């Protein structure tokens, strides 16, 4: 079945460092891809999304490009801040669920940014 | 601002108790979901509903049931709580026709079963 695999964390970086969190997926159809972020004590919120191959999603300095040839959607940020410390989830929609909205999530990657 | 509200942030229950987790959304969304979040496992779908009184099993429905009597409310029920149901439970909702399936999540309910 469809699945999402993220790099294992935790990831610990110093402020202003470059961030990459790897995400690869397996899907039989043409899913949309998402990054959600969960700040401490909160629920998940959408960070960015891409709906077709070669689309780039971006928000708050974060970017991810939908790479169909490598089935990847890696999250990047050029200069992280302490406030970016959170858990990041990669997700895809079940291509057969355009009406129900089901998402399949990766394991989550914890990012800790130190001053 | 749109909201998904989970009534209890923290609950402690005993094995065998019946547990109700309530979720209310004020966005007139058709779809509602219950996920379970565990370290190293990410989010796993328990049940979802795409209309009042309609429900479908997700990936891990065993030990759980749900109720959706009104469009805005989706309840998760643990008929007889067990220690392996200790977890963070997340409710979410989305529009039926949102295309790219953007979910709005509540803050979560952390359940401990002793």
Q: Number of Cβ pairs closer than 8 Å across A and B?
A: 75
Q: Which of A43, A64, A90, A92 is the best residue to mutate to test the B interface, defined by the most B CB atoms within 10 Å of its own CB? A: A43
- Place A4 in a pLDDT band, splitting at 50, 70 and 90: very high
Q: Do A100 and B102 touch (CB under 8 A)?
A: no
Phi, psi for A17 (deg, rounded to 5): -75, 165
Q: Do B105 and A43 touch (CB under 8 A)?
A: yes
Strand, coil or helix: what is B84? Answer: helix
A88 and A35 Cβ atoms separated by less than 8 Å: yes
Query: Chain B residue closest to A51 (CA)?
Result: B100
Of residues B50 and A113, more confidence is placed in: A113
pLDDT > 90: percent of chain B: 75
Any chain B CB within 8 A of the CB of A106? Answer: yes
- Place A12 in a pLDDT band, splitting at 50, 70 and 90: very high
**Which tens digits make up the pLDDT trace of A37-64?**
999 988 999 999 998 899 999 999 999 9
Mean pLDDT along residues B23-50: 92
Q: Torsion over CA of B106, B110, B113 and B114, rounded to 10 degrees?
A: -160
């Amino acid at each position: 079945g469809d699945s999402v695999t993220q790099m294992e964390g935790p990831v610990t970086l110093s402020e202003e460092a470059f961030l990459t969190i790897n995400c690869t997926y397996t899907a039989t159809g043409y899913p949309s891809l998402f990054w959600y972020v969960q700040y401490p004590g909160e629920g998940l919120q959408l960070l960015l999304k891409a709906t077709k191959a070669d689309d780039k999603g971006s928000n708050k300095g974060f970017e991810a490009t939908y790479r169909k040839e490598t089935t990847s959607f890696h999250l990047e940020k050029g200069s992280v801040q302490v406030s970016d410390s959170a858990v990041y989830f990669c997700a895809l929609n079940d291509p057969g669920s355009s009406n129900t909205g089901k998402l399949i999530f990766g394991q989550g990657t914890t990012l800790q940014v130190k001053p | 601002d749109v909201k998904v509200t989970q009534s209890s942030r923290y609950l402690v229950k005993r094995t065998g108790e019946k547990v109700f987790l309530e979720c209310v959304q004020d966005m007139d969304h058709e779809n509602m979901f219950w996920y379970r979040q565990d370290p190293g496992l990410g989010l796993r779908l328990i049940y979802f509903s795409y209309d009042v009184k309609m429900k479908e099993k997700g990936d891990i429905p065993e030990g759980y049931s749900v109720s959706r009597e009104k469009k805005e409310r989706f309840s998760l029920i643990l008929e007889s709580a067990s220690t392996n149901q200790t977890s963070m439970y997340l409710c979410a909702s989305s529009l039926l026709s949102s295309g790219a399936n953007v979910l709005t999540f509540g803050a979560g309910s952390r359940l401990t079963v002793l």
